[in-house]
């Protein structure tokens, strides 16, 4: 017995039922609760903006010092104070409230070595 093979026939058998799905779905109505109407024009949601995940830096200049405020999600996580005379220092939130003065930053900045020679 000889088998007859038609190229693309198996693809046609698969594609026909898939192509008929939108026609069947278009004829069906969604089951909506009583009193809920389907709007004629699509309703667009307002543009969603997620909260920024990276630190924001606000620089405030003064005559005697420059202040850098580091914020994450709108909350101040560290303040860097650079006076005209003397070394810079950092103010970080203390556990019991208020601010604690340190000489080094607590913010971790990711850094990767891309290339060395």
Helix/strand/coil (H/E/C) assignment for every residue in the chain? CCCCCCCCHHHHHHHHHHHHHHHHHHHCCCCCCCCCCCCCCCCCCCCCCCCCCCCEEEEEECCCEEEEEEEECCEEEEEEEEECCCCCEEEEECCCCCEEEECCCCCCCCCCCCCCC
Quote the pTM value: 0.48
The string of pLDDT tens digits covering residues 82-115 is 999 999 999 988 888 888 888 888 777 677 888 8
Residue ranges of the domains in the chain?
56-102
Range scoring the smallest mean pLDDT among 2-6, 23-27, 54-58, 107-111: 23-27
Tell which CATH architecture fits domain 56-102.
Answer: Single Sheet (2.20)
| pLDDT tens digits along 49-80 | 655 566 688 899 888 999 999 888 788 889 99
Specify the pLDDT at position 11: 47
Q: How far apart are CA 52 and CA 77, in angstroms?
A: 14
């Amino acid at each position: 017995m000889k088998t007859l093979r038609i190229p693309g026939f198996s693809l046609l058998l698969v594609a026909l039922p898939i192509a008929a799905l939108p026609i069947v779905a278009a004829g069906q109505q969604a089951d909506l609760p009583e009193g809920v109407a389907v709007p004629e024009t699509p309703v667009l949601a307002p543009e969603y903006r997620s909260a920024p995940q990276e630190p924001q830096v606000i620089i405030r200049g003064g005559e005697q010092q420059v202040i850098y405020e580091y914020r994450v999600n709108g909350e101040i996580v560290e303040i860097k104070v650079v006076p005209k005379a003397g070394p810079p220092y950092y103010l970080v939130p203390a556990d019991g409230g208020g601010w604690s003065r340190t000489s080094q930053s607590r913010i971790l900045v990711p850094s990767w070595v891309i290339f060395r020679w």
